[in-house]
Amino acid sequence: MKQQINTVSASLNGIRSSPRKMRLVVDLIRNKNIQKALEILTYSSKKRISFYLKKLLFSLLSNWKKEYDESNVTNLYIKKIIVNQGKTLKRLRPVPQGRGHRIRKRSSNVVVFLEKKKEI
């Protein structure tokens, strides 16, 4: 008997926000139902990152519908969400006595996996 794994993924690379700030919002939606996660991101609009994560979840739903031809999204949940560091832009800021201090503008890469809950 072959078991079918119902998992899809989506990724977003090069978001101009540090991984540390990204993880603050990502921890709110980890292991949540997809509809609940979208609601959380809608009301956490104070964080700029929530806009990008919301778009990523809509992309994930689109991937699910393409892969499995299902419009029923009631028992889908975010199985795993990973935030890694992307490229870092290095800039110099002038300081007194002709010196320069380095400023690191960090970016993030996010990967999300969506899975269907198993019915007991």
pLDDT at 2 over 60: no
pLDDT at 47: 83
Domains and CATH numbers, the chain: 7-116 (3.90.470.10)
Long-range contacts of 74-77 (CB under 8 A, 24+ apart): 74/35, 75/33, 75/116, 75/117, 75/119, 76/33, 76/34, 76/114, 76/115, 76/116, 76/117, 77/31, 77/32, 77/33, 77/34, 77/114, 77/115, 77/117
Pairing between β-strand 76-95 and β-strand 7-15 as defined by DSSP bridges: unpaired
Please tell me the pTM assigned to this model. Answer: 0.86
Residue 33 has a pLDDT of 93
Stretch 42-68: mean pLDDT, rounded?
A: 90
